[in-house]
């Protein structure tokens, strides 16, 4: 599918949102941003997702992350739907902006078009996509789910923390990693460098190859 993917720069589009008009790059500024699309307002899975995003908003804010939603419905629809979202989520307020894209131009440029789902008028619908965008305006990670499957906010938090640690330190996160657990040191970092970079220490897995490439530390 054409459109942006990991490593690409998000286009500096002018968008109309529930918080007014702005340029994407101005909104992202020098922070991390989660840009997520949903197939449609007043739909069941999307209502649960946006409510959970509202519930997790403080968790994302603590990590210096902004939220930005998107669907092809108009602003009036968004404003009415937000009332349902907030009611279902137990009163958590939707404080993040939601982009309106009735002409379906933005979803194409942001690679958020569902390959299968169509609206009642035959027009393409947004996929259940999510881009994590770094302060450099580059896409660091993308999720793409079908309309039938809601996203897991704990997984979004997990991969966000993984990305932020990788950006700050020369580390990666191993299989099933969770925030607070040990990370692995990049093979590009020598043992001497590791001792200086990770004064808290590290340990190396004892493998049959006797190659010391699997080094764990806490950051």
**Under a CB-based contact definition with an 8 Å cutoff, are residues 171 and 182 in contact?**
no
Asked if 193 and 138 sit in the same domain, the reply is: no
pLDDT at 82: 97
Asked if 109 and 19 sit in the same domain, the reply is: yes
Rounded Cα distance between 18 and 21, Å, is 8
For residues 74-84, give the mean pLDDT: 97
Asked if 42 and 94 sit in the same domain, the reply is: yes
The pairing of strands 98-100 and 65-71 is: parallel
* Number of domains into which the chain is organized: 2
In a domain, 133, yes or no: yes
Asked if 124 and 192 sit in the same domain, the reply is: no
pLDDT tops 80 at residue 6: yes
User: Which residues are known to be catalytic?
Assistant: 46
Q: Give me the CATH number covering residue 105.
A: 3.40.30.10
pLDDT tops 90 at residue 150: yes
Last residue of a domain, one of 151, 179, 208: 151
In a domain, 87, yes or no: yes
Asked if 125 and 176 sit in the same domain, the reply is: no
Asked if 121 and 178 sit in the same domain, the reply is: no
Q: Give me the CATH number covering residue 173.
A: 3.30.1020.10
Percent of the chain with pLDDT over 90: 84
pLDDT at 2: 52
pLDDT tops 80 at residue 119: no
In a domain, 201, yes or no: yes
For residues 118-136, give the mean pLDDT: 84
pLDDT tops 90 at residue 85: yes
The tens digit of pLDDT for each residue in 11-67 reads 999 999 999 999 999 999 999 999 999 999 999 999 999 999 999 999 999 999 999
Last residue of a domain, one of 96, 121, 151: 151
Rounded Cα distance between 52 and 91, Å, is 11
For residues 141-153, give the mean pLDDT: 91
In a domain, 61, yes or no: yes
In a domain, 158, yes or no: no
The pairing of strands 32-37 and 20-23 is: unpaired
For residues 125-132, give the mean pLDDT: 89
List the one residue out of 24, 94, 116, 103 whose CA is nearest residue 71: 103
pLDDT tops 60 at residue 156: yes
Asked if 144 and 177 sit in the same domain, the reply is: no
pLDDT at 121: 74
In a domain, 8, yes or no: no
pLDDT at 124: 72
For residues 115-143, give the mean pLDDT: 86
Asked if 83 and 191 sit in the same domain, the reply is: no
In a domain, 163, yes or no: no
pLDDT tops 90 at residue 118: no
In eight-state DSSP terms, residue 66 is E
pLDDT at 1: 40
Asked if 137 and 60 sit in the same domain, the reply is: yes
Confidence band for 211, pLDDT divided at 50, 70 and 90: very high
For residues 143-170, give the mean pLDDT: 94
Last residue of a domain, one of 125, 151, 177: 151
pLDDT tops 80 at residue 155: yes
In a domain, 1, yes or no: no
Asked if 132 and 173 sit in the same domain, the reply is: no
Q: Supply the range of the domain harboring residue 191.
A: 169-217
């Amino acid at each position: 599918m054409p459109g942006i993917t990991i490593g690409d720069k998000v286009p500096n589009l002018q968008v109309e949102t529930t918080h007014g008009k702005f340029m994407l790059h101005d909104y992202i500024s020098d922070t991390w941003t989660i840009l997520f699309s949903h197939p449609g307002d007043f739909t069941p899975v999307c209502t649960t997702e946006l409510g959970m995003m509202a519930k997790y908003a403080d968790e994302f804010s603590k990590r210096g992350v902004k939220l930005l939603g998107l669907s092809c419905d108009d602003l009036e629809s968004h404003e009415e739907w937000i009332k349902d979202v907030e009611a279902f989520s137990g009163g958590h307020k939707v404080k993040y902006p939601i982009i309106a894209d009735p002409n379906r131009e933005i979803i194409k440029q942001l690679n958020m078009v569902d390959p299968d789902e169509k609206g009642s008028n035959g027009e393409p619908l947004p996929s259940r996509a999510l881009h994590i965008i770094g302060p450099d305006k580059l896409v660091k990670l993308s999720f793409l789910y079908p309309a039938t499957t809601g996203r897991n906010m704990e997984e979004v938090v997990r991969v966000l923390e993984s990305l932020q640690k990788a950006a700050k330190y020369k580390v990666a996160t191993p299989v099933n990693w969770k925030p607070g657990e040990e990370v692995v040191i990049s093979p590009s970092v020598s043992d001497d460098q590791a001792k200086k970079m990770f004064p808290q220490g590290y340990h190396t897995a004892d493998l049959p190859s006797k190659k010391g490439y699997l080094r764990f530390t806490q950051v």
